[in-house]
Amino acid sequence: MEILPADFYARETCSVARDLIGMVLVHDHPAAGRISGYIVETEAYHHDDPACHAWHLFDRETGTVRLEGRGAGLFEAPGTAYVYLNYGMYWLLNVVTEREGVGAAVLIRGVEPREGLDFMRAQRPKARRPRDLTNGPGKLGMAFGLDDRHHGRPMTAPPLYIARPETVPSYAVDTSSRIGISRGVDLQWRYFVPGNPYVSPGTPSDRVKRTRR
Which residues bind to DNA, rule: CB under 7 A?
43, 45, 51-53, 55-56, 68-71, 74, 82, 85-90, 92, 94, 105, 107, 124, 126-127, 132, 136-140, 178-183, 200, 204-205, 207-208, 211
Torsion of CA 76, 23, 113, 84, to 10 degrees: 10
Amino acid at residue number 109: R
Q: What is the closest distance, in whole angstroms, from the C-beta atom of residue 8 to DNA in the complex?
A: 18
Residue 149 C-beta: closest distance to DNA, Å: 15
- Which of residues 36 and 53 has its CB atom nearest to DNA in the complex? 53
> Residue 50 CB, nearest distance to DNA (Å)?
7
Return left, alpha or beta for 124; rule: phi > 0 is left, psi -120 to 50 is alpha, else beta.
beta
The backbone torsions φ and ψ at residue 6, rounded to the nearest 5 degrees and listed phi first, read -55, -35
Angle at 195 between CA 18 and CA 173, to 5 degrees: 20
- Write the single-letter amino acid at 49: D
Least distance from DNA to the Cβ atom of residue 104, Å: 9
Nearest of 169, 150, 166 to residue 158 by alpha carbon? 150
User: Cβ closer to DNA: 70 or 149?
Assistant: 70
Q: In the complex with DNA, which residue's Cβ is closer, 32 or 181?
A: 181
Q: Which is nearer to DNA, 45 or 161 (CB)?
A: 45
Min dist. Cβ of residue 182 to DNA (A):
4
Output 36 or 135, the one with its CB closest to DNA.
Answer: 135
Rounded to the nearest whole angstrom, what is the least distance from the CB of residue 92 to DNA in the complex? Answer: 5
Task: Specify the pairing of strand 160-164 against strand 2-3.
Answer: antiparallel
What DSSP line would sit under 176-202, residue for residue?
EPPSS-SSSTT---EEE-TT-TTS---
Cβ proximity to DNA: between 165 and 176 the closer is 176
Q: How far apart are CA 64 and CA 89, in angstroms?
A: 32
